[in-house]
Amino acid sequence: MIVTRFAPSPNGSLHLGHAYSAIVGHDLAAAAGGRFLLRIEDIDGPRSLAPLAAEFRADLAWLGVRFEEVTPQSSRLARYAAAAGHLRGEGLLYPCTCTRAEIAAAAQRWGPEGPVYPGTCRTRSHNPARPAAWRLDVSAALARTGPLIWEDALRGAQAADPAALGDVVLVRKDAPASYHLAATLDDAADEVTLVTRGRDLFAATHVHRLLQALLGLPVPRWHHHALLMAADSGKLAKRRGSPSLAERRARGEDGPALADAIRKGSFPAGITLASS
Ligand code: GLU
Ligand code: ZN
């Protein structure tokens, strides 16, 4: 049984890029008689959950994309804390009290997600008076697991290279998990077999594969689809003048017709699928 998912964060309305992502996930599952899940990634707090989650459900229904909704992150905080506690017990996490500005100033290289944390706090004694995030000691973790491989449906076998992102945060200063820890645990709990998401998260998968090995989680396959871009090759976002799905819905656009056009690769003017 193939199980895919769409996992939007309720911090803004969905746009065409999200519609594309949901349709890719839905269609891959549907073609194989599988299940397509909607999971609300509200680790930032349930503050915006109710209205935006309702909007997301209505957007998908409007497009004609059928889904099963699974537990949102805000209901799984204890599970994240337990996994973090396990990794801490294994000596694989260390507290980091650096601020964003300190990290930007200390970084020696730029990774796929911005300045790469240079490990400043790995050997520094911890001042418990300062709020701390907990970071994964990636080289210690890799020494534990040995080399890892993962499979992308479009790009084939990948040698996991979690070091590219540096020692990522697993427990945030303000939340019991980071995106990396929460999404990895959730995909396992939801029994996702094919993680469908945009290519912007390709590098994150190296870290997720490492977490699966450390936590003894099942290893799914991944399908990182190309991203929709504005014609000026900027990232597709509302500020570029692309109306949200909710706005399109409110002004009476035909949802299933839009979904079909997206399936055929015929996007609204000014929007293209990135080639790399
Ligand atoms: N919640 C993430 C987002 O809004 C997606 C995470 C994922 O698909 O793994 O972009
Ligand atoms: Zn630090």
Residue 36 is part of which domain span?
3-74+226-273
Q: Where does residue 239 fall: left (phi above 0), alpha (psi -120 to 50 degrees), or beta otherwise? A: alpha
Q: Where does residue 152 fall: left (phi above 0), alpha (psi -120 to 50 degrees), or beta otherwise? A: beta
One domain, residues 21 and 54: yes
Q: In the numeric block, which tokens belong to residue 15?
A: 């746009």
Domain boundary among 224, 247, 265: 224
One domain, residues 95 and 145: yes
One domain, residues 114 and 58: no
CA 160 to ligand 2 center in whole angstroms = 24
pLDDT at 48: 64
- Tell me the C-alpha distance between 73 and 46, whole Å: 9
Collapse the DSSP code of 35 into the 3-class scheme (helix H, G, I; strand E, B; otherwise coil) and give the result. Answer: strand
Which bound ligand lies closest to the C-alpha atom of 103? 2
Q: Are 16 and 262 in contact (CB under 8 A)?
A: yes
Residues near ion ligand 2 (Cβ under 5 Å): 96, 98, 120-121
One domain, residues 172 and 248: no
Within 6 A (CB) of ligand 1 lie: 7-9, 41, 183, 197, 201
Max CA distance (Å), the chain: 59
pLDDT at 268: 87
Closest ligand 1 atom to 41 CA: 1
One domain, residues 108 and 210: yes
Q: What's 69's DSSP letter? A: E
pLDDT at 8: 96
One domain, residues 55 and 183: no
Look at residues 223, 220, 194, 198 and name the one whose alpha carbon lies nearest to residue 209. 220
CA 100 to ligand 2 center in whole angstroms = 9
- Tell me the C-alpha distance between 53 and 134, whole Å: 29
Is 0.85 surpassed by the pTM of this model? yes
Whole-number Cα distances in Å, 52 to 14, 26, 69: 9, 20, 14
One domain, residues 9 and 145: no
Of the pLDDT bands very low, low, confident and very high (cuts 50, 70, 90), residue 112 is confident
| Tens-digit pLDDT profile for residues 46-72 | 566 788 999 999 999 999 999 999 999
Residue 149 CB-density burial (10 A; 0-12 exposed, 13-18 middle, 19+ buried): exposed
One domain, residues 90 and 195: yes
One domain, residues 126 and 58: no
One domain, residues 112 and 217: yes
Q: What's 155's DSSP letter? A: T
One domain, residues 149 and 252: no
One domain, residues 95 and 166: yes
Arithmetic mean of pLDDT over the chain: 93
